[in-house]
Amino acid sequence: MTEYFIGNLLTGRRLQTLPVMTGPWSDQIHVAETITVTVDLNDADVRDLDLDSSAAPAQSFLAVRENGRIVAAGPIWTSVYDRPKRTLTLRAAGMASLFNHRLILPVLAATIGVDQWTVPDPADPTKTMPNPALATVFSGISLGTMAKRLVQQARTWTGGNVPIEFQPDEAAARTKTYDAVNFKPVWEACTDIMNMDDGPEINFQALDTDDLLGVKWLMETGTVAEPLITSTSIVDWDLTAKESPISDFQITTDATKMGSLAWQTGGAQNSTVVVSRAYDPTLVSAGYPLMELSDSSHSTVDRQDTLDDYATADVIAGRRAVEVWSFSVKAYPTDQLGNPAGPQVGDYQVGDFCNIHIDAFDPKALTGDPFKHAGGDFPMRIIGISGDEKGIDLKIDLAPALVA
């Protein structure tokens, strides 16, 4: 059963269940979830909810629960009232989206004079440098814990204390300084961390509070040993079995981001040019033409090793085309007797690994799959799950499991 409900974002307390006309939601790896619901104001029960105030954008959150598990939850950002149709459409995004609206600034930034954001450079008094007192400096912790500290710092501001819980700190020989003058959004920095060569995945997982009267978010981060956020269970789906719960199977392959030679440029913060280069011979050795990748989006990075991480990550990702397998699956598959058969919604989530079985193609019986005609077991990872208010079918996106 699919349930939608709204609550207060700052406290996480649940306010009321939301009967919806439509309610597509989507949870994708590395980005905030999205939820879009439309409610019917002709319904007296809906009118009684006083959504004009109880679902105020930015002040309220919208959550969707499937099979007892919250699959998406986050701030409502927009609402559209359609008077002719007497409908209200709410659009929300996961908790990560809130941190697009929070900057990497210590609390001191709220009170220090605005003329003190730069100070004379002790090494060269004719120049100025970012005020160290306003810098957010990390050392001796892992990348995942840095992301955690960024969010924790944002929560120390008045009004910033959204209900988020964290994992324990993890030590690592890492250092990083975020200068206040860059005004970098917290989630942008988290995305940068994820994009680094050994960057951990970061996710905000909505959970019920212990009293079941509200929602809290667990900020999950990968570790040095296991940068991926995943569970130990592996889901099996059989594409070619009779009565398979899978339908609308597609494979999309996009080679536009392939490349063997990756370039990264940065150093804008110090008015210098820092260039990083990474080369992987895999594709060229396999007979592909040389393709290059360039990225200047990390222009403020001035550390060579940091830029090298991005270049290495690019060239690793560029080894293969982006291949996405997508299909629809029954949320609650059953056998002929109506008993649960196969993975039920809630048994798996984005980030989990799965196995897709495809029988070898039989041209006479036309069984198996003509594209993946050799068939076999394909280890995949779930990179996206989306559903709707009906709660009958889910759309699953998979990517081939990568070998570390």
116 or 209: whose CB is closer to other proteins?
116
**Given 11, 16, 87, 269, the residue binding other proteins (CB under 8 A):** 269
- In the complex, what is the shortest distance from the CB of residue 123 to other proteins, in angstroms, rounded to a whole number? 11
- In the complex, what is the shortest distance from the CB of residue 320 to other proteins, in angstroms, rounded to a whole number? 10
Q: Residues 6 or more apart from 135 whose CB is under 8 A from it?
A: 106, 177, 178, 179, 180
3 or 352: whose CB is closer to other proteins?
352
Give the containing element (helix H, strand E) for 148.
helix 143-155
Q: How far is residue 169's CA from residue 190's CA, in Å, rounded to a whole number?
A: 16
**Given 216, 298, 330, 372, the residue binding other proteins (CB under 8 A):** 298
**Length of the chain measured in residues:** 404
Residue 264's alpha-carbon distances to 181, 256, 271, 273, in angstroms, are 23, 17, 16, 10
Amino acid type, 116? Q
**Given 313, 331, 345, 358, the residue binding other proteins (CB under 8 A):** 313
Considering only the stretches 82-90, 150-158, 319-327, 354-362, report the one whose residues sit in contact with other proteins under the rule CB under 8 A: 319-327
The verdict on 355 binding other proteins (CB under 8 A) reads no
The verdict on 280 binding other proteins (CB under 8 A) reads no
46 or 261: whose CB is closer to other proteins?
261
**Given 8, 16, 152, 300, the residue binding other proteins (CB under 8 A):** 300
| Alpha-carbon dihedral angle through residues 126, 129, 131, 136, given to the nearest 10 degrees | -160
Q: How far is residue 70's CA from residue 4's CA, in Å, rounded to a whole number?
A: 9
139 or 252: whose CB is closer to other proteins?
252
Q: How far is residue 347's CA from residue 282's CA, in Å, rounded to a whole number?
A: 37
- In the complex, what is the shortest distance from the CB of residue 387 to other proteins, in angstroms, rounded to a whole number? 12
Q: Three-class SS of residue 253? A: strand
In contact, 99 and 153? CB cutoff 8 Å = no
- In the complex, what is the shortest distance from the CB of residue 25 to other proteins, in angstroms, rounded to a whole number? 11
Q: How far is residue 367's CA from residue 369's CA, in Å, rounded to a whole number?
A: 7
The interface with other proteins within residues 173-212 (CB under 8 A) comprises: 179, 181-184, 188, 195, 197-200
Compute the half-sphere exposure of residue 281: CA atoms within 13 Å on the CB side of its CA.
1
Q: Three-class SS of residue 360? A: coil
Considering only the stretches 76-84, 147-155, 208-216, 395-403, report the one whose residues sit in contact with other proteins under the rule CB under 8 A: 395-403
Q: Residues 6 or more apart from 221 whose CB is under 8 A from it?
A: 143, 144, 145, 147, 148, 167, 200, 201, 202, 203, 229
175 or 177: whose CB is closer to other proteins?
177
- In the complex, what is the shortest distance from the CB of residue 34 to other proteins, in angstroms, rounded to a whole number? 8
The verdict on 268 binding other proteins (CB under 8 A) reads yes
Other beta carbons less than 10 A from residue 169's beta carbon:
13
Tell me the two tokens of residue 134.
């306003």
The verdict on 386 binding other proteins (CB under 8 A) reads yes
What letter does residue 362 receive in the DSSP assignment? B
Q: How far is residue 101's CA from residue 156's CA, in Å, rounded to a whole number?
A: 15
The verdict on 227 binding other proteins (CB under 8 A) reads yes
The verdict on 139 binding other proteins (CB under 8 A) reads no
- In the complex, what is the shortest distance from the CB of residue 38 to other proteins, in angstroms, rounded to a whole number? 15
The verdict on 5 binding other proteins (CB under 8 A) reads no
Q: Tell me which residues touch other proteins (CB under 8 A).
A: 26, 28-31, 117-118, 121, 126-131, 179, 181-184, 188, 195, 197-200, 222, 227-228, 252, 254, 268-271, 296-300, 313, 316-317, 322, 324, 326, 381, 383-384, 386, 395, 397, 399, 402-404
